[in-house]
Structure 1
C-alpha cells in the first residue's frame, strides 16, 4: 500500500494484551458484520469483521488473540508472532490498532514497542477512557503521541466515547501510512546480536533489523521460514554464541527502561487507583470466602438454568406443537407429511425447546468474563489445581467447558506446561456442557420429585441439576489426578496472568456473545439433528418386508381378538411396526449390552445416535416416540412418562433408569467434534482414543452400579 493508494480490501489488525478490552472494541467497530473461523492451519479461533469508513473500500478488521510480547509462552502468542512477522501472509495487516488499557499503560506497552520496531503503521488506542475520572487519571495525549510517534486515541468501549475519532484516525492512516514513521527504534541490539544479524540479514526475508532479530529467535518454529534458512540460522546462532533467552530478557528490560519514563511523563495518577479492586479481591480471592462465593455463583447459575427458563420453554414447545399440527392438517396424509412432522419438526423441536437454558448459560459465563471474575477464579484455584496435575488456567477451561468443550479445549493454548495442558484437554469434556442440558432436564423430572423450598426460589430438581454439574467437575479432577500419576514429566509449572480491574459488564458484549454462541449452537446442532432425524425416521418407518408384514398381521389378529378401537389398533400397529423396523432390529441387537444399565432397545437407539452429539438424545426420543404414538408427540416429557415396559407394564423411565442415564451422560464422551479438536490440539489420534475409552468406561460402569443399586 503506497501513499495515497489504498488496497481493494485493506486489512487492519486489532492487537493488544489480554484483558485490554480489544474484543469489546471489535464488537463496536464491526457490530454483527463479523464471522468466526480458524486461523489457517491451526485451531485458534479467528474473529474477522467488516468496517465501513467514508471514502475508503470496506476494511477487514481481524481480532488477533491477546498477547503480552513477541516472545511467546502460549500458542495464542505464537500465532500473533507468526502472522505479524510474515509480510507475504494473507493476514498480514496494512495497519494495526494497538489496544491498551489506559489504567495499566505501563504494563501494556511492551508488545507495542516491539511491533513499532517492526515498522508497522499503528494507532495506539487507549481503551477504558471512562475510568479516567473514577481513577483520577489525566493523560497528556499530544505528549504521549509525540514520544511514541503514533496517533493516540482515547476511547471507551462502554459508552462509545472516541469511536468517531478512532474511525477518522484509521481513515487517515490507511490513506497515508508513511505519515507516522519512527525516526528511532525503541531497542538497539547489543554487539553480539549485531554480529549474528550482520551474517543473517542477507538470508532472512526481513523488513528491518528488528524483524531479522525476531526471525533469528523464532526460526525453529516459524512456518514461513524455509528449512534451508532455518538451518543457516541455527548454525549462525551456535557460531556466534547467541543465547536466545538471555537476549530476550535483556531486550525486555531495556524496553521497559525506555517506555516507562514516557508513561510517567504523560500519565498522572491521583491517589491509589487499585484500592477498589484490592478491597474486592480481599473477599473474592480469600482462601475461605473465595471458594464459598464461587460455589454460590455456580449454584445460582444451575438454579437459573433449571428453574428460570420454564416460560420461554413452554412457549417454544407450544409453537412446535402448533406447527406440527398445522402441517398435518394442511398437507395430505403420506410419507412426506410423516417425515416433516414425525422426523424433522419433532426432532428439532425436542432440542430447540432448550435454547432458553443454553442462552442463560452463555449469559452468565459472559458476565463472569466481563467483570473480571474468571481470572480471579484461575488465581484462586491454582494451588488446588496443581495437586491434581492441572494449572490455575485450567479453571477457565473447566468453566468454559460448561458452555462447550470445543472452545474450552482450545483455550488451553494459554497453558505453557505440556503435561498440564494435555491433562486439561483430556478431562475438560467431563464438565457438563450445554449439550447435556436437554438430557438433564428431561431425566431429572423422572429421577427427582418436584419439591420446592422458600416459595419456589429453590427446587429439589434444581439442586439435583447442580449436583450433576459438580459430579462432572469431581470426575474431571479425579481423572486428572489419575493421569498425573500415570504421565510423568520433568517440566516445571508456573502461572502468570494479569488480574483485570473489576468493571461493570458491557451489555452489548454480553448480548453479542449470547447471540453468536446460541446461533452457533442452534445451527451446528440443527444440522446434525436434521440429518439424524431423517435417517431415524426412515429407519424407524421401514424395515425388512417380511417382518413388517408379520407385524401388521399380528396386530390385525390381536385387534380382532381384543376388540380394540380404531385408535387403539393404530397405536398398537405403530408400536409393532417400530419394533420390526431397521431401527428396532439395531436396538434389539445391542439390548443385551445395555440391559444391565436398565435400558431397553429404544433407549439403545438414542445412545448410539448420541455418540455423534449428546443433544441428539432428546431429538431421537422425540422422533421414536412420535412415530410410536400420535398423542403428545411434541411434549416429549409427557410422552416419555407414558412409556411402559410391555412385559411388566411398569414405567420405562423410573428413578433407577433415569439416574442410570443421567450418570451415563455425565461421564460419556458423546461428541465427535470434541474428539476431532482433541486430535488437532494434541496432533495425535492417541489422546482422543484414550479420552473416548476412559470416559465411556467410567460412564458404563458408573451407570451400571447406580441402576443395580437402585433397582
Structure 2
C-alpha cells in the first residue's frame, strides 16, 4: 500500500462506491457540480464518470478527482459492472490505486450498506463513510450515533443529504484531511478456519475470485464457500454494531411510502397508473414544446435568410446556407422535446418511482422469458439504446443478457423522437381529439407501446430458440419516495441535450456537406449548371440518381426517391432523417421562408397534384422507423458487448426485413 502523505500540489484521487439506490449519483453531482466528464473504463464499455472539485483550507487548496464507480452490494462481483468496481480499488499497480475511497451508505438501511464499507476498510485504503438520506432517517425516527460508529469502524463518518447539499462542505473538509495511515481492520486475521479449509484474507480472496472469473462465469466450491463464510461473519458483526449505535422510534400507522407502494405496485393499478403517466407525458411533450419549437424554427429560418442576403453568391455560401445550416435547423428545432422527455424521465427516476416500475414489470418480463434485471435496460432504451445495451452488464446470466441486448433496439429511443414528431405533425391534425386527449399524443404513446411490445415479443421468440440453462433472480433495492432534486434533474437534462446536439450536430454537418455536394452536382451537364431550375438540378444530381436507383424497391411502401436518400443517410443516426429532408428541400426550394413541415405539406406527386405525405405514407414511415435498426452506433456496441459479428448482422437483417414488410402492409391497408 502507498504510505506517502498527500501534498497540496498533487491531484487527490477519490473512488466513490456504494450500493445501488443510495444516492451515489446525487452525491457525485453535489461534490462536482458541472465539472464532469464521461468515458469508459479501460478494456470495457462500462461508463466511467469522473469529476473534479476543490476545497480551500487555511493551509492550502486541494483539487480532487472523483470517479463514480458502478453500484454494487459487495466487492465479490456477480456481474461485469461489479467486476469493474472491484478491479478499480484492488489494482495491482500501486500508483493507480485511489488515494481515498468514499463509501456512501443509506442511513435508513445501514445494515445492508455497511457490508461493502467493511470490505473496503479491510483492504487498507483510506476510507470515509458518508451517511446519506439522514433527513429521511430522522423522519422515520432513526437516530445514529455517528461518533460511536466512526470509532468502531476506525474511519471518519459524515452525515449528509446529497440532494439538499447538507453536510457536503463538512465532507469535503474531511476528505481533504484524510491521508494514508494505520487503519483499524474490521475483520482482522490473515487466515480463518472454516471446516476443512482456510479462508484467505479478503484481498487474497478477491484475487482468487478475479482469477477464476477471468476463465469463466463460475467459481470453484472452496472459493464460493469462503465467500459465504466471510460474508456471514461480517454481517453478524455489522448487525451487532448497528444495534449498538442506532435507535429506532417506531411511529404508529403506515408512512407515506408504504401507502403509495400499496397502489403503485398493485398488480392492476400499478400498470394502469404507469400507462396513464406515459400518456400525460407524451401529451405534454407535444403541447408544451410547441411554442419553443416554433420560436427556434423562426429564429433559424430568419438567420438562414439573413446569411443568404449577407453572404456573396458563392460555392461556400450555398454549402453553408443550403447544406449545413438547413441540416442543423432540422435537428435543433427538436431540442425542446428532447429536454422535456429527459425532464420527465429525471422526475420519475429521482422520485423513486422508476424503481417501482421495474418491480411491477418483473412479473410481465417473466412471461416473455426475461427477468426483472432486464427491465432497467429496456426502460433505459427509451432514452438511448447505446447506454441501455451497456447496462445489460448488470444481468448476471449470459443468456438473458444476450436476449436483452438483441431486443433493446425495438424500444423507442429519443433519436426516433424528431422523426415521429415531424411525421405525426404532417398526417395527424393538431386539433383532432379522441375524448379528452389530443390524437397526436395518443399516436405518440402508441408508437412507444408498439416498440416495447415488439421487444417483448422478440424476447419470447428468442427464449424459445435458446435453450434455457439457468433461472434468474431479481433482487432490487426499492428506495424511499422523495422530492425530486431540481439541480440534479437540470444537470442531467443539460448533459443529455448537449450530447444530442453535439453528437447529432457532428454527424449532420458531415452528412449535409456530402449531401449538398451530391445534390448540387451530377453526372449530366445540365445538373451542374446554375441557370437550370432547382427541381431539375436536384432530380438529375448524383443524389437524385442514387434515390431513383433505390426508388423501385421502396415505392411499394409509399416512399419516393427523396425519402430513400434520407433512409440511407439516417443509418448513421435516426434523427439524421429530419436533417437530410431539410437539406434536400432547402436545395430544391430556394424559398427558405417556409419551415420543413410547410414544405412537406405542400409537396405534390408529379402529374397528379395529389399530396405526397398522406396518412398512409406517414404511418408507413413511422412503422419503418419503429422496427428498422437505423443506427450504426448501436450495431457497434452490440458487437463490442457480444464480441461477435454474428449478432449485429442478424439483428440488422431481421429488423430490416421486419420493418420493410410491416411498412408495406401498413401502406397497403391505409392507402
The correspondence of residues 41-80 of structure 1 with structure 2, limited to 5 A, is 41-54=43-56, 55-80=60-85
Partner residue of 1:177 out of 176, 180, 196: 180
Quote the residue 2:106 is aligned against: 101
Deviation per CA, 1:557-603, whole angstroms, max 9, x where unpaired? xxxxxxxxxxxxxxxx1000101100001001101110111111111
Deviation per CA, 1:28-67, whole angstroms, max 9, x where unpaired? 1111111011111111111101121222442111111101
The answer to whether residue 509 in structure 2 is matched with residue 513 in structure 1 is: no
Question: 1-side partners of 2:108 and 2:189: how far apart?
Answer: 25
Partner residue of 2:576 out of 591, 602, 616: 616
The answer to whether residue 13 in structure 2 is matched with residue 8 in structure 1 is: no
The answer to whether residue 329 in structure 2 is matched with residue 361 in structure 1 is: no
Question: 2-side partners of 1:393 and 1:443: how far apart?
Answer: 34
Deviation per CA, 1:132-163, whole angstroms, max 9, x where unpaired? 33111211111111111110000111221111
Quote the residue 1:438 is aligned against: 418
The correspondence of residues 200-279 of structure 1 with structure 2, limited to 5 A, is 209-221=201-213, 243-272=222-251, 275-279=255-259
Partner residue of 1:500 out of 473, 479, 498: 479
The correspondence of residues 190-209 of structure 1 with structure 2, limited to 5 A, is 190-191=192-193, 209=201
Question: 1-side partners of 2:568 and 2:648: how far apart?
Answer: 18
Determine if contact 1:365/1:400 at 8 Å carries over to the other structure: no
The answer to whether residue 377 in structure 2 is matched with residue 384 in structure 1 is: no
Deviation per CA, 1:333-359, whole angstroms, max 9, x where unpaired? 122111111111110010110011111
User: 1:260–1:188: structure 2 CA closer, same or farther, 3 Å change rule?
Assistant: farther
Quote the residue 2:276 is aligned against: 296
Question: 2-side partners of 1:306 and 1:476: how far apart?
Answer: 25
Question: 2-side partners of 1:654 and 1:319: how far apart?
Answer: 28
The answer to whether residue 150 in structure 2 is matched with residue 145 in structure 1 is: yes
Question: 1-side partners of 2:463 and 2:89: how far apart?
Answer: 37
Determine if contact 1:343/1:623 at 8 Å carries over to the other structure: yes
Kindly state the Cα deviation for residue 188 of structure 1 after the two structures are TM-superposed: 6.3
Kindly state the Cα deviation for residue 196 of structure 1 after the two structures are TM-superposed: 6.2
Which ranges in structure 1 are unaligned for 5 or more consecutive residues? 199-208, 223-229, 556-572
Determine if contact 2:192/2:199 at 8 Å carries over to the other structure: no
Question: 2-side partners of 1:155 and 1:634: how far apart?
Answer: 54
Kindly state the Cα deviation for residue 632 of structure 1 after the two structures are TM-superposed: 4.3
Question: 1-side partners of 2:50 and 2:402: how far apart?
Answer: 29
Quote the residue 2:406 is aligned against: 426
Larger Rg: 1
Determine if contact 2:409/2:629 at 8 Å carries over to the other structure: yes
User: 1:13–1:538: structure 2 CA closer, same or farther, 3 Å change rule?
Assistant: same
Kindly state the Cα deviation for residue 217 of structure 1 after the two structures are TM-superposed: 2.5
Deviation per CA, 1:233-259, whole angstroms, max 9, x where unpaired? x9xx98xxx612121111111111011
Kindly state the Cα deviation for residue 417 of structure 1 after the two structures are TM-superposed: 1.9
User: 1:525–1:194: structure 2 CA closer, same or farther, 3 Å change rule?
Assistant: farther
Determine if contact 2:426/2:597 at 8 Å carries over to the other structure: no
Query: How many residues are matched?
Result: 664
Quote the residue 1:37 is aligned against: 39
The SS at the match of 2:134 is: coil
Question: 2-side partners of 1:451 and 1:184: how far apart?
Answer: 67
Kindly state the Cα deviation for residue 5 of structure 1 after the two structures are TM-superposed: 3.5
Partner residue of 1:646 out of 599, 606, 609: 606
The SS at the match of 1:345 is: helix
Which ranges in structure 2 are unaligned for 5 or more consecutive residues? none
Over the aligned positions, Cα root-mean-square deviation in angstroms equals 2.2
User: 1:149–1:493: structure 2 CA closer, same or farther, 3 Å change rule?
Assistant: same
Determine if contact 1:423/1:483 at 8 Å carries over to the other structure: yes
Kindly state the Cα deviation for residue 299 of structure 1 after the two structures are TM-superposed: 0.8
Quote the residue 1:569 is aligned against: none
Moved more, 389-398 or 355-364: 389-398
Partner residue of 1:84 out of 74, 89, 93: 89
Moved more, 242-251 or 433-442: 242-251
User: 1:103–1:405: structure 2 CA closer, same or farther, 3 Å change rule?
Assistant: same
Question: 2-side partners of 1:421 and 1:316: how far apart?
Answer: 41
Kindly state the Cα deviation for residue 419 of structure 1 after the two structures are TM-superposed: 1.7
The answer to whether residue 549 in structure 2 is matched with residue 589 in structure 1 is: yes
Kindly state the Cα deviation for residue 129 of structure 1 after the two structures are TM-superposed: 1.7
Deviation per CA, 1:509-558, whole angstroms, max 9, x where unpaired? 11111111111111111100110011100100011143526x889x6xxx
Determine if contact 1:348/1:530 at 8 Å carries over to the other structure: yes
User: 1:420–1:668: structure 2 CA closer, same or farther, 3 Å change rule?
Assistant: same
The SS at the match of 1:449 is: coil
The SS at the match of 2:65 is: strand
Question: 1-side partners of 2:636 and 2:598: how far apart?
Answer: 36
Question: 2-side partners of 1:367 and 1:91: how far apart?
Answer: 37
Quote the residue 1:567 is aligned against: none
Quote the residue 1:27 is aligned against: 29
Question: 2-side partners of 1:390 and 1:183: how far apart?
Answer: 41
Deviation per CA, 1:344-376, whole angstroms, max 9, x where unpaired? 111001011001111111111111111112221
Partner residue of 2:384 out of 396, 404, 408: 404
Determine if contact 2:27/2:163 at 8 Å carries over to the other structure: no
Determine if contact 1:536/1:583 at 8 Å carries over to the other structure: yes
TM-score by length of 2: 0.95
Partner residue of 2:305 out of 315, 322, 325: 325
User: 1:187–1:302: structure 2 CA closer, same or farther, 3 Å change rule?
Assistant: farther
Deviation per CA, 1:306-331, whole angstroms, max 9, x where unpaired? 22100110111011011101111111
Moved more, 662-671 or 52-61: 52-61
Question: 1-side partners of 2:465 and 2:173: how far apart?
Answer: 58
Question: 2-side partners of 1:634 and 1:185: how far apart?
Answer: 72
Kindly state the Cα deviation for residue 462 of structure 1 after the two structures are TM-superposed: 1.1
Question: 2-side partners of 1:186 and 1:506: how far apart?
Answer: 41
Moved more, 105-114 or 440-449: 440-449
Quote the residue 1:532 is aligned against: 511
Question: 2-side partners of 1:462 and 1:183: how far apart?
Answer: 59
Quote the residue 1:627 is aligned against: 587
Partner residue of 1:476 out of 455, 460, 464: 455
Kindly state the Cα deviation for residue 120 of structure 1 after the two structures are TM-superposed: 1.0
Determine if contact 2:191/2:199 at 8 Å carries over to the other structure: no
Quote the residue 1:685 is aligned against: 645
Determine if contact 1:73/1:416 at 8 Å carries over to the other structure: yes
Question: 2-side partners of 1:279 and 1:404: how far apart?
Answer: 33
Partner residue of 2:163 out of 158, 161, 164: 158
Kindly state the Cα deviation for residue 706 of structure 1 after the two structures are TM-superposed: 0.7
User: 1:252–1:3: structure 2 CA closer, same or farther, 3 Å change rule?
Assistant: same
Question: 2-side partners of 1:685 and 1:89: how far apart?
Answer: 37
The SS at the match of 2:378 is: helix
Question: 2-side partners of 1:703 and 1:547: how far apart?
Answer: 36
Kindly state the Cα deviation for residue 191 of structure 1 after the two structures are TM-superposed: 2.6
Kindly state the Cα deviation for residue 218 of structure 1 after the two structures are TM-superposed: 2.4
